[in-house]
Amino acid sequence: GWRAAATDDGHLLMERTAVTRGSRPSTEADPVLLEVFNNLFMSIAEQMGARLESTAQSVNIKERLDFSCALFDPDGNLVANAPHIPVHLGSMGTSVKEVIRRRGDSMRPGDTYAVNDPYHGGTHLPDVTVITPVFDTQTPGTGAPADPETRRPRILFYVASRGHHAEIGGIAPGSMPAHSRTIEEEGVLFDNWPLAEDGRFREEETRRLLTEAPYP
């Protein structure tokens, strides 16, 4: 139902020639309810940002506000984000989807993952993304797992925040050396790193990752 033509400027001009059945806009959603939930979801992301700003020690996060917070659906698609730093959001969904792809059914309530790997949705290494699945742990009134097929808690959505840290190791302060030849020279890599398991912050393991890297 579309026609394309190249313009003199080298652009591709798309023009709709027919409205197909699948392209008709749906009017089933209640616009009032849609707006209510949109604000509820955005409020979660805004409160994430408020908590991150108030508890952060990094000057980049606490004073420069160089961070972003967002909410993603069970497939890792962006649902809502707070008006923080938009550039973080472009690839944050890829980081979430990578965690979903590699962790899958092994995720449990209380688990959290850290990602800064530019090969899997990260930007530069100082931008560390923290991703947490949010579970529907029980079916109301039954005490049973929410998903009757898998007998496991069902993931409702994911929350993720990405913050720019002052540096994360590497061969130069700031973790963005112009003459680096390998990713390790830029800093410590968080490749789908389990930051918390069953609600326990893996502090000792994370310290070892940071200090035992080739360029800690």
Domain membership of residue 117 (yes or no) is yes
Query: What is the total count of domains within the chain?
Result: 1
| Over residues 192-210, mean pLDDT | 96
- The per-residue pLDDT for 140 is 52
Residue 189's CB: how many other CB atoms inside 10 A? 21
Domain membership of residue 65 (yes or no) is yes
Burial of 52 by CB count in 10 Å (0-12 exposed, 13-18 middle, 19+ buried)?
buried
Domain membership of residue 157 (yes or no) is yes
Residue 105 predicted with pLDDT over 80:
yes
| Boundaries of domain holding 192 | 30-211
Domain membership of residue 205 (yes or no) is yes
Domain membership of residue 20 (yes or no) is no
Domain membership of residue 126 (yes or no) is yes
Rounded to two decimals, what is the model's pTM? 0.79
Digit-coded pLDDT (tens) for 43-87? 999 999 999 999 998 899 999 999 999 999 999 999 999 888 877
Answer with the residue of higher pLDDT: 193 or 153: 193
- The per-residue pLDDT for 142 is 47
Q: Name the token pair of 125.
A: 């290494």
